[in-house]
């Protein structure tokens, strides 16, 4: 039931991005192909069309790496320090190589690469916390209203989403091998709710970015 609900939120976020695309900032425009991919991917998974060996773990592992690469670039675009950006991209490349090694040689292609997922998630969480620190210690005189600041809204959605996936996959082995259904239900519900929060905050960020750029063009 929740899977169908958050697929609807995928659709809402996609159309919000599509309708506001013309006046979005350059960095936010890159979210349209991402949301298109997620929309198709989640639709296909609703019907288990990508299942191999009774699981879609193999494609989830690939999706995690693709999302990690995209969000690394997206988050880093809000940091104007070019030298630091290069270092972050090198570190992200190392994380991707470790993730591929985990999938191919440690946990297996057709099993959920939980270690790789947690490493990716923690890296993105660190990047967002670094963004928060820079935002709160901004020395410029420009007043920023956080509740309508598009980058803050988008990155907060990503932050909560990856916090929940870190919690979920940190406990994944426990849930699988102990067959603790109640714990799984709580964790899965939390993950679905933060997916809703991610799409909701993306939608609000698109609208705020659209309004801001529209007013500045008048």
The model's pLDDT over 7-17, given as tens digits with 9 standing for 90+, comes to 899 999 999 99
Whether residue 140 has pLDDT greater than 80: no
pLDDT at 168: 85
pLDDT at 2: 63
CA-CA distance, 117 to 102, in Å (whole number)?
10
pTM for the predicted model, two decimal places: 0.93
pLDDT at 189: 80
Whether residue 141 has pLDDT greater than 70: no
pLDDT tens for each residue of 80-97: 888 899 999 999 999 999
Mean pLDDT of the chain: 90
CA nearest 27: which of 36, 37, 17, 19? 17
Structure-block tokens of residue 129 = 């916390």
- Could you tell me if 173 and 114 are in contact, meaning their C-beta atoms sit under 8 angstroms apart? yes
Count CA atoms within 13 Å of residue 55 on its CB side.
11
- Could you tell me if 17 and 35 are in contact, meaning their C-beta atoms sit under 8 angstroms apart? yes
């Amino acid at each position: 039931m929740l899977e169908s609900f958050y697929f609807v939120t995928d659709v809402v976020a996609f159309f919000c991005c599509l309708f506001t695309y013309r006046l979005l900032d350059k960095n936010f425009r890159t979210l349209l192909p991402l949301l298109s991919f997620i929309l198709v991917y989640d639709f296909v998974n609703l019907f288990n069309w990508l299942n191999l060996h009774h699981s879609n773990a193999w494609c989830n592992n690939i999706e995690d790496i693709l999302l990690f690469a995209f969000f690394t670039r997206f988050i880093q675009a809000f940091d104007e320090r070019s030298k630091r950006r290069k270092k972050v991209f090198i570190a992200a490349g190392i994380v991707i190589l470790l993730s591929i090694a985990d999938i191919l040689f440690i946990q297996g292609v057709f099993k959920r690469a939980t270690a790789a997922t947690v490493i990716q998630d923690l890296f993105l969480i660190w990047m967002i916390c670094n963004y928060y620190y820079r935002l709160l210690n901004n020395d410029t005189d420009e007043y920023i209203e956080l509740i309508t600041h598009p980058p803050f809204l988008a990155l907060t959605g990503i932050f909560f989403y990856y916090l929940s996936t870190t919690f979920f996959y940190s406990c994944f082995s426990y849930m699988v091998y102990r067959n603790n259904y109640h714990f799984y239900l709580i964790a899965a519900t939390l993950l679905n709710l933060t997916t809703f929060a991610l799409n909701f905050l993306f939608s609000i960020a698109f609208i705020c970015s659209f309004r801001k750029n529209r007013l500045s063009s008048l």
